[in-house]
Amino acid sequence: MNPEGHSQNHLPYIIIIILELGIGTFMNLFVIYVVYRDFIKTKTLRSGDQILLCLGISNMFYGFLVFVSLLDYFCSLGIFSRIHTAYIYLYLFLFAISSCAWLSASLGFFYFVKISTFGSGLLSWVKKNITSVVPRLLLGILLVSLFNSVLSSLFIIFSPAPPRNNTGRFVSIASVFSQSRTQFIYSTITLSIGSFMVLFSTTFYLVVYLMKHSYRMKKGVQTPNNEHLRSFDKVVWRMMHSLLFYGIYYLLMLIIYFTVITKMESGFWLSYLIFSLFPVVQVVLLVLANPRLKAALKDTFLCLHLRESVCKPIQ
């Protein structure tokens, strides 16, 4: 696998990655804007908004790192000609992956605690004290991500075939990653597998819980509120879509990692495309599944449409 050189075979992957970065940046900025706008109005930052804000910032940071690597690749800036600079970038990249993954898991855990009912025990205490638990949870995620990124970076650096640049010539981060792609793949899987299990299990439980609750409402003695049932069914379908996305994404990621990347000339760019896809699709699903964010997005496009209509010159 040779990622160096502006091969035409890599161009479709690069174009898709750039589109992903553009869409992801817009959507994450939109989420941050909505959270900040509501904070200005209410003077309080709700627990769920704290997670959304951190997740948006983390995704933006991740997108920035991907953009830097693409810029270095196209413009031959030589940012990573010094291997220590490449190691610093590698650590930041792994930190961004870990923080995005665990913040996504914390968001799933937050909805799990808020929606579910618990009789007693630890989860019942967490539900009652969720306002004070969330800041501690976010701090814990920061520390875990910092620690895990250190271990993963050391695993790559001290591997039997660490990335090196003994020629002194220009080298992009693509070549640095390709030299230690096996260690990098195992590191990213290790960083994300725990958070994925938390996210998948909490989302799966919520889907089952909401489906059972909807079934009990339909079979209730009293006549159910059809409007309430329809809104409830929408929540179930949104959760099922999220669950389906997480399952397909990780299954596809593992299949491609172990059966395609090591055998394809464009394996590096394919892996980069998959890495860049997760935050984008996740934030899109998040906006579509959140009534407040979805309504704000509709209002934004409506205002833009009205502004274009007003500013359009009369024929």
Query: What's residue 139's pLDDT?
Result: 94
What's the average model confidence in pLDDT over 183-192?
Answer: 75
- pLDDT tens, residue by residue, 272-303: 777 778 788 888 888 877 778 888 888 877 77
62's tokens: 């991740």
Least confident of 2-6, 51-55, 83-87, 204-208: 2-6
- What is the mean pLDDT of the segment spanning 126-147? 91
pLDDT mean over 150-174: 63
Per-residue model confidence as pLDDT tens digits over 42-80: 888 888 899 989 999 998 998 898 888 878 777 766 676
For residues 36-44, give the mean pLDDT: 88
Task: For residues 135 and 148, give the distance between their C-alpha atoms in angstroms, rounded to a whole number.
Answer: 20
170 vs 258, more confident: 258
Give me the residue spans of the domains in the chain. Answer: 8-293
* pLDDT band with cut points at 50, 70 and 90 for residue 116: confident
Question: What's the topology of domain 8-293?
Answer: Rhopdopsin 7-helix transmembrane proteins (1.20.1070)
How many other CB atoms sit within 10 Å of the CB of residue 176? 25
Least confident of 90-104, 112-126, 258-272: 258-272
Q: Is the pTM of this model over 0.85?
A: no
Question: What was the pLDDT predicted at 76?
Answer: 67
pLDDT confidence of 133, banded at 50, 70, 90? very high
Report how far residue 269's alpha carbon sits from residue 267's, in angstroms, rounded to the nearest whole number: 6
The pLDDT assigned to 315 comes to 42
Q: What is the DSSP letter of 262?
A: G
Q: Does the pLDDT of residue 118 top 90, yes or no?
A: no
Q: Which long-range contacts (CB under 8 A, 24 or more apart) does 237-243 make?
A: 238/285, 238/288, 238/289, 239/203, 239/206, 239/207, 239/210, 239/289, 240/207, 241/285, 241/289, 242/203, 242/285, 242/289, 243/200, 243/203, 243/204, 243/207
Q: Which helix (H) or strand (E) holds 248?
A: helix 226-259
Q: Which of 293, 262, 79, 286 is nearest to 184 (CA)?
A: 262
User: Would you say 137 and 33 are in contact if contact means Cβ atoms under 8 Å apart?
Assistant: no
CA 83/CA 29 separation, integer angstroms:
33
For the cut 90, the answer to whether the pLDDT of residue 140 exceeds it is: yes
Rounded CA separation 216/272 (Å) = 45
